[in-house]
Amino acid sequence: MANVTMKDIAEKIGVSSVTVSKALNDKEGVSDALKDKIKQLADDMGYRYNTTAKSMKNGLTYNIGVVIPERFSGGMSQSFYFRAYQQAARVFEKYGYYGIMNILTDADEEALKLPRLYYEKKVDGFIFLGQLSADYINLIKEMDMPKVFLDFYDEHDEIDSVITDNFFGAYDLTNYLFNKGHKDIGFVGNLHSTSSIQDRYLGFYKSLLEHGKDLTKDWIINDRDERGKYVEFDLPDALPSAFVCNCDQVAHAFVNRLKQEGYKVPEDVSVVGFDNDIYATITDPNLTTVEVDIHEMVSEAVKIIIKKVQGTKKCYGRQSIKGKIVKRASVWDKRQG
């Protein structure tokens, strides 16, 4: 019972282990009768396929590393990363692969240490989930192994990446505010923090430009320091009638702050977020926001990494996955009111 191998099965029937291998893998060269007999016996003997031996032969582990920087794994953004990882696990399954999560500690990222998964040849490729430092990205580039960035990208576009369409998402959302009669619109977020936030800001800006508006410095409100830590909002005396926040969590905090200062939301100030995570519906009023298509993003990223692991040299570049606006009560219709 201990450890059944193909050889054990072979000896019991009186054939060679080659024949057993062929039968169990449904390959040609074994009569159907014998195949059935072998399969039956394998079942009876409690045989389990030894993937490690196969890996040894062809050099593939059938594992993909999913690297998540530590700082995204705590806090509140959890939900996004868990859903993403989970969806990845599901899609890997379809391809006969497994994902191995590797939390990249801040210290390792700082010290430019590649994941242990790499040094131990435990995986055939990597999905990096969540913005990494520029230096670390350079390090990754030199790593000779298939890789895909998920939810962020390399500015030099040398590594395939799948991102949410932050630019057009924020652009659409800002247009939506203009359509509702808003004329002055601000933005909440640190423009230098991540490429996602920057792109959302630029989409917002594009909409402003198209509506003949200029940027108003006072209405670009910072939400976090350079290490990503949230800071107090610095509110000017005069506010625009609407704000585009870089994410729902910040929109949630921003709404609370506005209410604390005596503003009514959305009557005095409308607020929109991004992500459609739990903060969108625990905010009062519920937030109009953009729902990121996690499933589609993850499926795409997995599809790409599997193709690359299987040998495609093709470069997929930067894939943007469209989100969709979810309309809720946090936007005031100025055309009627």
Partner DNA sequence: CTGAAAGCGCTTACAG
Q: Which residues bind a copy of itself (CB under 8 A)?
A: 1, 3, 48-53, 55-56, 59, 61, 63, 73, 76, 78-79, 81-83, 85-86, 89-90, 93, 98-103, 116-122, 144, 278, 282
Length of the chain: 337
- The entry of DNA, a copy of itself, none that residue 101 binds, CB within 5 to 8 Å by partner kind: a copy of itself
Question: Which one among 11, 18, 116, 158 touches DNA, defined by CB under 7 A?
Answer: 18
8 Å CB contact between 126 and 115: yes
Coil, helix or strand for 204? helix
Q: Which is nearer to a copy of itself, 180 or 252 (CB)?
A: 252
Coil, helix or strand for 213? coil
Angle between helices 6-13 and 17-24 (to 10 degrees): 110
- Picking from 200, 248, 229, 272, the residue whose alpha carbon sits closest to that of residue 75 is 229
8 Å CB contact between 148 and 128: yes
Q: Is the dihedral of CA 20, 25, 29, 32 positive or negative?
A: positive
- The entry of a copy of itself, DNA, none that residue 99 binds, CB within 5 to 8 Å by partner kind: a copy of itself
Question: Which one among 26, 28, 120, 144 touches DNA, defined by CB under 7 A?
Answer: 28
Coil, helix or strand for 98? strand
User: Which residues are 291's β-sheet partners?
Assistant: 275, 324
Q: Which is nearer to DNA, 133 or 310 (CB)?
A: 310
Asked whether position 19 contacts DNA by CB under 7 A, the answer is yes
Q: Which is nearer to a copy of itself, 76 or 235 (CB)?
A: 76
- Picking from 336, 323, 287, 326, the residue whose alpha carbon sits closest to that of residue 179 is 336
Gap between the Cα atoms of 183 and 107, Å rounded? 46
Q: Which is nearer to DNA, 10 or 244 (CB)?
A: 10
* Touching DNA, residues 29-58 (CB under 7 A): 29-32, 34, 47, 49-50, 53-54, 56-58
Q: Which is nearer to DNA, 16 or 312 (CB)?
A: 16
- The entry of DNA, a copy of itself, none that residue 90 binds, CB within 5 to 8 Å by partner kind: a copy of itself
Minimum distance, C-beta of residue 111 to DNA, in the bound complex (Å): 25
8 Å CB contact between 254 and 330: no
Asked whether position 26 contacts DNA by CB under 7 A, the answer is no
Gap between the Cα atoms of 277 and 249, Å rounded? 8
Gap between the Cα atoms of 177 and 147, Å rounded? 38
- The entry of a copy of itself, DNA, none that residue 58 binds, CB within 5 to 8 Å by partner kind: DNA
**69: phi then psi, degrees, rounded to nearest 5:** -60, 140
Minimum distance, C-beta of residue 78 to a copy of itself, in the bound complex (Å): 5
Q: Which is nearer to DNA, 56 or 231 (CB)?
A: 56
User: Which residues lie near DNA (CB under 7 A)?
Assistant: 3, 5-7, 14-19, 21-22, 24-25, 28-32, 34, 47, 49-50, 53-54, 56-59
